[in-house]
Structure 1
Amino acid sequence: MGNSDAKKHVHTLVIGSGPGGYTVAAEVAKTGKSVAIVERDQIGGVCTNTGCIPSKALIAESHKYEQAFNYSKQYMESSLFILPNFKEVQKVKETVVEKQSTGVKTLLSMSGVEIIRGEARFNTDTEVSIHQANSVTTIKFDNCVIATGSRSISLKNMPFTRRILSSKEALSLEEIPERLVVVGGGYIGIELGQMYAKMGSQVTILEAGRSILPEFDSDLIKPVEKKLLEKKVDIQTNAFVQEIVEKQNQIEVYYKVDGEEKRIFADFALITIGRRPNTDGSIGLDKIGISLTDRGHVQVDSQYKTSLPHIFAIGDIVEGPALAHKATYEANIVAGVINGKNSIADYQAIPLVVFSDPEIASVGENEAILKSKGIEIVTGKSRFMINGRASALQATEGFVKLVAGKKSGTLLAASIVCVEASSLISELALAVEMGATVEDIILTIHPHPTLSEVVVEAAKMTFARIEKA
C-alpha cells in the first residue's frame, strides 16, 4: 500500500454519511467552518442505499401491484393473474435510491463539505487515518462526530449466506421467492414479509415473542395481522429457530413452538432479529478511551458528547431506537452545540412508524408507563369507518387513539393505525412537543375530506371524557 504524505486539519470531522452524519456535516458547514465527512461504503449510508429508501420503494411497488390485481379482479371481464416482473421492479427501486444518494451528495457539496472515501481509524483523540485502496490520509480535527450506524444481527452459529439473508440482501433479490421464512416479527420483518406476500410469495413469520410488533399495543397490531392473514401469511409466535440447513435450491428451518419441534422448507430465510452498533472493529474507539455500554453503544450525555467532550456520537451507535429520524434529530442537536448553542436532547416526541399495511404510528409514552408515573390520564378513540376520505380510498380499517392528562387536557401520547399513518402522526408529534391540549386540536380547522378529520374526532372524544371527569 502506498502512503501519502497528505495531512490536513478540519474544524469538524464526521465519520459516516447516513442521515445523522450528512445532516450534522451540512449544518456545521453552513456556518463557514471547515467540515469533512468520511464514508467507507456508499454515500447516504444504510438508510439511503440498503435500508429505509429501497424498502419503502419496494413496499410502494407492492401496493401498486396489489391495487392493480384487485382492480383487475373486480372490474375486468377477464382478469389477468400475472406476477410482477421483479427485475423491472428492482430497476424502479434502484432509480429511487440513486436519486436520493445523488441528493445527499449535492447537499454536502452545496454546503461546502469535503467528502472523503475510505475507512477511518483513530490515531489519537484529535487525529484519524483514512485508509483508502492505495493510500492513507491523516486528518486532524477540533471536533469529531461518530455516526457509523449499525448492521443486521445474524442467528447464533448461522451466518448470512446466499439463502440466509439480512434485510440488505432481501431488498436485492432478482426474483420473487416462492416461499420465504421471516425470522423475527419486528417492524423490518413485518414490512418486508408483507411486501413479498403482496408480490406473491408464500410467507411464514417466526416470532420468538408472544406477538408480532411487540413494541405496540395489541389493538394497533390487529388490523395488520388481519391483512397478513388475508395474504395467507403464516404467523407463528413463541417460535425459536434451532437450525437452518442450506441446500442447493432451498433451506430447511428447524424450530420449536411451545417445545414442539417443527420444520419448514423455503427458498430463503430473512433474519430480522435486531441490529448491532458499528462500534467494534478497526475504528479504534477503545484506543482513545471512548466508553461503551455492555451492548456496544457509545455512552453520551444530553448533548451527545462522549467521554471526550470534543467527540460526539449519534444515531444507531447510541442507545435508543435505531431510527433515521432519531439520528437526524441528534445531528441537529450536535450541530447546535458545535455552533455554540446550548442544545440538549429531549426525546419526548419521537414518532415510531411501521410501514405495514395498514401503517402503524405512535408518539409519546404508552398508557402503562404514564400510569406507572402516577399520571392521571384520559383516552379517546375514533375509527376511520365512516370517514369520507377513507371510504373513497377503500381503506376504512384502523383508528386514532389519543392520551391526555385528566386535569390539564394536554396531549401526552397518540397512536394511529391506518393508511398514511406515517404522515398523520406528525401533527400529533408536534402537539406533544408543544404541550398542546386536545381542545387545541379541536379548534384547529382540518380540511375536508381528509383522513386527518379522524384526529379531530378522537380529540373530541377525549375532551368529552375530560369534561366528565
Structure 2
Amino acid sequence: MVVGDISTGTDVAVVGGGPGGYVAAIRAAQRGLDTTLIERDAFGGVCLNHGCIPSKAFIHGADVAHAARTAEDIGVHADPAVDAGQMQSWKSDVVDQLTGGVEKLCKANGVNLVSGTATFAGEHKLRVAHGGQGQGSESIEFEHAVVATGSRPVEIPGFGFDEGPVLSSRDLLRMERVPDEMVVVGAGYIGMELSTMLAKLGTDVTVVEMLDDVLPGYEEDVKRVVRTRAEALGVEFHFGEGASEWSDDGDGVTVVTETEDGAESEYGGEAVLVAVGREPVTDTLELESLGLEPNDDGFLETDTEARTDVDHVFAVGDVAGEPMLAHKASKEGIVAAEVAAGEPAALDYQAVPAAVFTDPEIGTVGMTEAEAEAEGFDPVVGQMPLRASGRALTMDDTDGFVRVVADEESGFVLGGQIVGPDASELVAELALAVEMGATLEDVASTIHTHPTLAESVMEAAENAMGQAIHTLNR
C-alpha cells in the first residue's frame, strides 16, 4: 500500500543534515522557530559519516601503527600488525556515536527530523520523497529555507566511481583490508591526507598530479615540509601529469597519464583513488521552482547574512562556496538561523582557520605575508622553528615551524601559518588573535605553559617584535 501524500508547515525548513544544516536547525529551534530538518542519507552529513570523522579515525590508526614501527631511536622496538577490519569497526563505532548524538541533540532542541529527498516545489514549498517502496511523499510549507546539501567528489572523464576499482574518498574509507599498491590521482588536501595514511599503513602509493606541486594554494615552505615527509614515507610523486584512462589488468589497474606535451606514462596498483576535489550538490533541488540559479560553478552565492538572491532562502556550507570547511558551514548555519529569527547576525571570514591532517599537519588562518602586502599592509613576520622547541624535541617530531604575520605599524595579528605536530590545534590561538584584534604584544605577553608546542606561537610573536629568546631574531 502506498502512503498518501501529506502536507505540513514549518517556520524553517533545513535541507541537509550535515555540520551546516543540523547546526542551523538546532539554533533556529533554540530561537523559538518551528524547525524541520530533512536529510536523505544519514544525519551528520558527509563530514560525520563519510569524510572528516572517518578519515581522521583512519589517520589516527595509521599514526599509531607508524609511530610504533619507527620508534627505535627512542628505544621502542615493535612490529605492529594492522587489522584493517577491526580499524573499520572501530571507526564505525565512532561515527555511530557522533551521528546518534546529532539526532538526540536535534530532538532535544525540538527539531522535527524528516528522512527523505527534498526538492523545491514553489517559493515556499518543498516536496519530500521518502525512501523505500510504498513510503510515499509529503509537502512542507515553509517561511524560511536553509539549503545545506553539501558536496560530492568530482569525477574526471573516464573515471566513474561506479566502476569497480575506481574509488572516491568515501569508497576508500570503507576498506576492510590495507591495499598493497594504490594509484592516487590528485595531490590536494584530500589526496595528501589519504596518501599519507595509506603509506603509514604499508601501502605503496603513487600520486599523479596535473600541477607542479602538492597542496595548491599553500606557501612553498609549508608544503615542502609535507611533501618531503611523504616522500620519506615512500610516496612517489609524478607532477605535471593528468590521468587520461585506466584499464583492469586482472590483478589490479593500470592508469595512463599524459603531460601537456603528450608524453604518456603508466602506473599500476590494486585500485585508483580519484581525489581531485569536491563539487556542490545543487543540481538535484529543482531550484528553478524558487527562482534561484547557481553560478557557473554550481554554488549558491550569498551575502553576509547567508541569504541567497531569494530573500527568505539561505545557503550554508559547501553549497555556498569556498572554503569547503565543516566549521565554516556551522558558523554560516548559526548566522542563517539567527537572521531568520530576526536577530542581527553577519559573517566575517577573516578568521576562518583551515587544517590539513597530513604528516606533519598544517594549520592556517587569516593572511599570508604576500596577501597582507596585497591588501596594503606593511607586514612584519615572526617565525619559530620547531627544531628549537623543547616539546617538539621530546616528541621526536621537529619538522616545521610556526609563523605569525602582523601589521608592523599597529602590531595587529593578521594571520599565521603552522606546519608541524598538532598544527590543527595550535592554529586556534592565532584564529582567536585575528578574531579579537589582538596584537603581537598580546600574544607574546601571554604566559604559555612549558614545555608545550603552544610556546612556539608566543616565540613567533616575539620574533616578529625582534625580541625572541629561543630563536634568532630576524
Aligned residues, how many?
465
Q: Which amino acid aligns with 2:447?
A: I
Q: Which amino acid aligns with 1:413?
A: G
The residue aligned with 1:428 is 430
Q: Equivalent residues in 2 for 1:367-446 (5 A)?
A: 367-446=369-448
CA RMSD of aligned residues (A): 1.8
1:301 deviates by 1.6
Q: Which amino acid aligns with 1:191?
A: E
Q: Is the 8 A contact 1:152 1:166 kept in 2?
A: yes
Gaps of 5+ in 2: none
1:157 deviates by 2.8
1:256 deviates by 2.4
Distance 2:180 2:112 in 1: 45
Q: Equivalent residues in 2 for 1:158-177 (5 A)?
A: 158-160=159-161, 161-177=163-179
1:229 deviates by 1.3
Indicate the SS of the match to 2:308.
coil
The residue aligned with 1:46 is 46
Q: Which residue of the other structure, out of 253, 256, 265, is the alignment partner of 1:254?
A: 256
Distance 2:73 2:43 in 1: 43
Distance 2:260 2:156 in 1: 19
Distance 1:246 1:329 in 2: 44
1:178 deviates by 0.6
What does the per-residue CA deviation read over 1:385-427, in whole Å, with 9 as the maximum and x for residues that have no partner? 1322112211111110111111111110100011000000001
Q: Which residue of the other structure, out of 308, 311, 324, is the alignment partner of 1:309?
A: 311
What does the per-residue CA deviation read over 1:207-262, in whole Å, with 9 as the maximum and x for residues that have no partner? 11111011110111122122111111101111111111134431110012463311
1:83 deviates by 4.0
Q: Is the 8 A contact 1:305 1:311 kept in 2?
A: yes
The residue aligned with 1:151 is 152
Distance 1:365 1:357 in 2: 23
Q: Equivalent residues in 2 for 1:115-264 (5 A)?
A: 115-132=113-130, 133=132, 134-160=135-161, 161-257=163-259, 259=261, 260-264=263-267
Distance 1:265 1:386 in 2: 42
Indicate the SS of the match to 1:195.
helix
Distance 1:229 1:460 in 2: 33
Indicate the SS of the match to 2:318.
helix
Distance 2:467 2:342 in 1: 46
The residue aligned with 2:291 is 289
Q: Is the 8 A contact 1:333 1:345 kept in 2?
A: yes
Q: Is the 8 A contact 1:150 1:277 kept in 2?
A: yes
What does the per-residue CA deviation read over 1:172-217, in whole Å, with 9 as the maximum and x for residues that have no partner? 1111111111111000000001000000000011111111011110
Q: Which residue of the other structure, out of 452, 463, 466, is the alignment partner of 2:465?
A: 463
1:305 deviates by 1.1
User: In the alignment, does 2:372 pair up with 1:360?
Assistant: no
What does the per-residue CA deviation read over 1:89-140, in whole Å, with 9 as the maximum and x for residues that have no partner? 1111111111111111111111111110000111111111110132111111
Q: Is the 8 A contact 1:378 1:403 kept in 2?
A: yes
The residue aligned with 1:105 is 103
Gaps of 5+ in 1: none
Distance 1:228 1:114 in 2: 46
Taking every aligned residue pair, what percent have the same amino acid on both sides?
Answer: 36
Indicate the SS of the match to 1:348.
helix
User: In the alignment, does 2:27 pair up with 1:20?
Assistant: no
Q: Is the 8 A contact 2:193 2:357 kept in 1?
A: yes
Q: Is the 8 A contact 1:291 1:299 kept in 2?
A: no
The residue aligned with 1:265 is 268
Report the TM-score, using the length of structure 1 for normalisation: 0.96
Distance 2:390 2:210 in 1: 39
Distance 1:94 1:179 in 2: 24
Distance 2:412 2:390 in 1: 28
Indicate the SS of the match to 1:220.
helix
User: In the alignment, does 2:44 pair up with 1:55?
Assistant: no
Indicate the SS of the match to 1:265.
strand
What does the per-residue CA deviation read over 1:438-468, in whole Å, with 9 as the maximum and x for residues that have no partner? 00001111111110101111001101289x9
Q: Is the 8 A contact 1:130 1:136 kept in 2?
A: yes
Report the TM-score, using the length of structure 2 for normalisation: 0.95
Q: Which amino acid aligns with 1:104?
A: V
Q: Is the 8 A contact 1:2 1:136 kept in 2?
A: no
Indicate the SS of the match to 2:14.
strand
Q: Which amino acid aligns with 2:444?
A: I
1:3 deviates by 4.6
Q: Which amino acid aligns with 1:148?
A: T
1:6 deviates by 2.0
Distance 1:249 1:98 in 2: 34
1:312 deviates by 0.6
Q: Which amino acid aligns with 2:404?
A: L
Distance 2:447 2:73 in 1: 39
Distance 1:336 1:429 in 2: 23
Q: Is the 8 A contact 2:65 2:80 kept in 1?
A: no
The residue aligned with 1:8 is 8
